[in-house]
Amino acid sequence: MSTTVKIPATHLETGSRQVGRPLERIDAKGKAVGSTRYAGDYVMPDMLHAKVLRSTVASANLRRLDVTKARALPGVVCVLTGADVPKHMVSTDIPGQTGSWGQNTGQPILVHDRVRYFGEPLALIASESRDIAERAMTLIEPEYEPLPGVFDPIEALKPEAPLVQGVGNVVASQMVRKGDVKHGFETADVIVERVYRTQFIEHAFLEPEVGLSWIDENDVINIHVSTQVIEHFRVVADAVGLPYNRVRIRGALVGGGFGGKEDVTVEIYLALLALATRRPVRLEYTREDSFVGHGKRHPFVMTYRTGVKNDGTITALEAKFIADAGAYVFLSPSVMVYAATAAPGPYKIDNLIADAKAVATNNMYTSAFRGFGAAQACVAYEQQMDEVAKAIGMDPVKFRRKNYMRAGDRTATGVVVPSAIWTEQCVDQAWTALGEPVEVSGPIKIGRGVAACLQGYGRLTSLHDTSEGWVGVERDGTVTVRSGVTDIGAGQVSALAQIAAEVLGVTLQDVAVYNSDSAVTPLAGTTTATRALYMTGNAIRQAAEAVRRRLAQRAAKAFNVPPDDIDMAFSKVFVADDPAQSMAFRDLVRICAAEGIHCSELAMFCAPFTEKLNPETGQGQVHPDFSYGAHAIELTVDTETGEITVIKSVGAHDVGRAINPAAVEGQIEGGAVQGQGYALSEEMIYKEGRLMTPSLSEYLIPTAMDVPQVKCIILESGSGLGPFGAKGIGEAALTPVAAAIANAVADAIGVRIAELPITPEKVVNALREKE
């Protein structure tokens, strides 16, 4: 074990501390003045413009795809179809994460003969201008032979259902077994059962998918792209048949991801077209391309059955999840692991059965979305907690308090959580922060709801996740950080700078970060799964500490004290107990450089490595650790129109340590609003597989008018596995929100609408039925 640098008390007193302060992010100014270059802002001489032609049917044989007219159109340089890329499959595997259930996870890059969903890519076009590419699209006439499709996962489970992939429609399943559920239900005084449903959700990042590819002087395919995962360079290389070291992916600051840029987007198309034309190619999705072209959040049907004693003790839980996987597997298997293992939420339930199944349909495929299955589970378990409390006549907060998992308890999969479990603090503080209720009268009813959650941070431990980072110090006292990590808007890069600055006693302005280039920055892994700060933050901290140790050793020699007595702050190196003995940080670096002392370090951080869960019982470690949090809502419902207005929205989360509290607040505020959209307004509607909501005026994300000021309560247990005791907040910020809103609506109108989104129409109908 390497020793870690503690933040000396003097840093707190003198204000030299970098970690824990709401510093202006290093990426903020360029974005505010419009000088930041996103992936779509790059152009090259002689560049072509690309388009993807997609199917307009959901289930069919592609009998003919005549592209001769398109190829003949002046200005069209290249048209590729499935016939041109016959063997290439999109392997959407992040190795180990998909494919282990014996299913065909591969999707043809372009349809060969069978169309399985609306929007499946048929052809790629590269031309001299955007307009020409668009015209060429209209000249391609696909001939389809319609086939029966299946568009509902429950229908797809029936034996007579059409097969989507030809091997059975269950594409992934995960079970969890703990204790004796039969006995648990026998000892219950009351049993509550309910089916909860969630919908397809679109990420709706503001920046549609975009990228630019070219082949360089070394025959390397370069792809400058908006992505959460630059390490898809391997996937691209496999798809086009090149060695891994001949594909280079350069990220850029990403205009939002939320899981929607976790799978490959435009990279393979760009590589194929650059190879075919030997010219630079730019591909930018329209908003409609984006809505049609990437996977969605899984809709879930969740059947919960809970046994409880009259004193509020939960005796058993049976949870069944059926998720719509759509036409291809993508990350469904992992989403099922998250969902099944989160089935009891942050509660101690000793007798438990959870079964999660992802079922293939001819709908759009589903994959990663902030919360990743655990968010859907929370919609069910937290509504169920309210319903169980109501059934035994207990206050919902008091009922939760009786059942929280606490330090030393085991999770659903039998693991003792390594960090603090502050669910109770989060719920109590969020609930209390609602304060006095607003006054209402007439048809306007007020309601309040709360929901707690647990959310793993770090990828599944069975994936053996690692992250590398490099830190070096320069002779003018500045610091350089190199990391492959992508910054998708949450301040991932700026947090690394803060960590390096903290360890080396400089300020944020002294640190430059070079990131997101698969060829030249150390591979840091994905920006997904609330892992960037935890994994890459630790790697950068380790690297910075190694550099600091070597510098401190040299300084100790100069001052004739033990290395442990050396401190660094304000770009000075000094004896901690006698700060008069000091030298400039840059002078120390110069001395070290002159003497051949190594002034940089490449570090690798490894998450816990475990086996996969026991397939029979689901027991074993799933995540490195969990974040715990809660959200509380006060809202009004107009019982005449069904209109819901969220009045107060409070998120309380134990983030372990807030590296940048302003960035943490940004995550909580943004999660609250995304969660509100999930609960009330957002739904990707598919009719026989066809998308009916392909624009931002049909798919309604919240606007500034729809949401209140969100109150953020940041708790810091200091117990996380991330740098300086940090946990993660990216996903946890969203996870409890929708359930809190659903609970508040039920509180307001006295009837539960167990199907998201809770639209005015559903409210009015539910009130009619109640009468």
Partner 1 sequence: MKRQTVRFTINGEARELAVYPNDLLLNVLRDQESLTGTKYGCGIGECGACTVQVDGAPTLSCLKLAVSVDGCKVVTIEGLAKGNQLDPVQEAFLDNSAVQCGFCTPGMVMMGRALLDEKPRPTEQEVRDHMRGSLCRCTGYASIVRAIMVAGEKAELS
Provide the binding-site residues for partner 1, judged by CB under 8 A. Answer: 22, 24-25, 27-38, 40-41, 43, 203-208, 253-256, 258, 284, 286-287, 488-491, 662-663, 665-666, 669-674, 695-697, 701-705, 707, 709-710
370 exposure class (CB count in 10 Å sphere: 0-12, 13-18, 19+): buried
As measured in angstroms, the least distance from the Cβ of 345 to partner 1 is 24
- Of 41 and 761, CB closest to partner 1: 41
- Of 108 and 666, CB closest to partner 1: 666
Phi, psi of 332 (to 5 degrees): -55, -45
- Of 163 and 692, CB closest to partner 1: 692
- Of 161 and 532, CB closest to partner 1: 532
As measured in angstroms, the least distance from the Cβ of 493 to partner 1 is 12
Sequence-distant (≥ 6) Cβ neighbours of residue 291 within 8 angstroms? 202, 684, 691, 693, 694, 695, 699
Handedness of CA 217, 221, 227, 228 (dihedral sign): negative
Strand pairing report for 190-197 and 479-483:
unpaired
Total Cβ atoms within 10 A of residue 477 = 19
Strand pairing report for 444-457 and 578-584:
unpaired
As measured in angstroms, the least distance from the Cβ of 49 to partner 1 is 11
As measured in angstroms, the least distance from the Cβ of 288 to partner 1 is 9
- Of 254 and 753, CB closest to partner 1: 254
- Of 27 and 638, CB closest to partner 1: 27
As measured in angstroms, the least distance from the Cβ of 455 to partner 1 is 18
As measured in angstroms, the least distance from the Cβ of 681 to partner 1 is 13
- Is the distance from CB of 28 to CB of 509 less than 8 angstroms? no
As measured in angstroms, the least distance from the Cβ of 750 to partner 1 is 29
- Of 164 and 659, CB closest to partner 1: 659
E-assigned strand segments in 692-749: 710-715
User: Per this entry, what is the length of the chain?
Assistant: 771
- Of 517 and 665, CB closest to partner 1: 665
| Closest-CA residue to 348 (of 282, 400, 276, 419) | 400
Answer whether the bond into residue 86 is a cis peptide, omega within 30°: no
Return d(Cα 484, Cα 338) in angstroms, integer: 26
As measured in angstroms, the least distance from the Cβ of 661 to partner 1 is 9
- Is the distance from CB of 323 to CB of 359 less than 8 angstroms? yes
As measured in angstroms, the least distance from the Cβ of 41 to partner 1 is 4
| Closest-CA residue to 370 (of 75, 702, 667, 712) | 667
Compute CA distances 424 → 412, 490, 661, whole Å.
18, 27, 21
Quickly tell me which residue has 């995540």 as its tokens: 623
Sequence-distant (≥ 6) Cβ neighbours of residue 136 within 8 angstroms? 51, 70, 73, 76, 79, 125, 127
Using alpha carbons only, how large is the chain's radius of gyration in Å? Answer: 27
Which structure tokens are listed for 652? 């309380």
Return d(Cα 367, Cα 363) in angstroms, integer: 12
As measured in angstroms, the least distance from the Cβ of 256 to partner 1 is 4
Return d(Cα 239, Cα 124) in angstroms, integer: 15
Phi, psi of 14 (to 5 degrees): -90, -5
- Of 462 and 674, CB closest to partner 1: 674
- Of 202 and 318, CB closest to partner 1: 202
As measured in angstroms, the least distance from the Cβ of 332 to partner 1 is 24
- Of 209 and 386, CB closest to partner 1: 209
Total Cβ atoms within 10 A of residue 459 = 24
Which structure tokens are listed for 101? 């259930």
As measured in angstroms, the least distance from the Cβ of 117 to partner 1 is 23
- Of 79 and 266, CB closest to partner 1: 266
